[in-house]
Amino acid sequence: MPTTDLAVFCFQFVACTMAVLCLVRWYLLPALAPLPPRKQLEFLLLPFLIRFLGSSTLVSGVVGPDYSTACAQVATVLDPLSFALALTSLFALRAGSRWSLPLVVAFLAEALVFSVLLLWVDGPTGPIAELHAHWYVATVVVPILIVFQVLVLLTTARHWRVLWAAA
């Protein structure tokens, strides 16, 4: 990947992350504070319902011809799995199921595995080389999801006793 492309990617990734952090801090967190932990998690899991986007790396022309096959395979398997875990977690939270906390923990674990695998299969620039039309996912969608992933983790860690007791 040319140095200029990497610099633009880093700038866009950081700028989007900072913008999302401002929105979260100034508007989202104050609005979520009075809600019970289950409702907070329901809202925080909603952005992950678009996690099927990774499978688009298999579509001809979306990424460059030299895009990492290993990265595409990881995204194609684990992105829809993350979507399924987020959706199942949402259903369990809304139903007040005893499975809601284990499902949220599985969702968080899958996100960690996904990140480690994506970086491991092709190195730190592997997932961003040859992105082409998929560029917006890495520079806009991924920063949003990272911020919300951290919020899900912090909310779960902060309220795990309440969530466990409610089950």
Distance between CA atoms of residues 24 and 78, nearest Å: 26
pLDDT of residue 127: 78
pLDDT of residue 1: 67
Structure token pair of residue 156 = 């779960």
Q: Average pLDDT for consecutive 10-residue bins of the chain (167 residues)? A: 86 97 98 96 96 84 88 88 96 94 96 86 79 90 95 95 80
Which residues, 6 or more positions from 1, have their beta carbon under 8 angstroms from its beta carbon? 9, 125, 128, 129
pLDDT of residue 15: 98
Give the long-range contacts of residues 152-155, CB within 8 A, separation 24 or more: 152/41, 152/44, 152/45, 152/104, 152/107, 152/108, 153/108, 155/37, 155/40, 155/41, 155/44
Question: Would you say 44 and 155 are in contact if contact means Cβ atoms under 8 Å apart?
Answer: yes
pLDDT of residue 167: 64
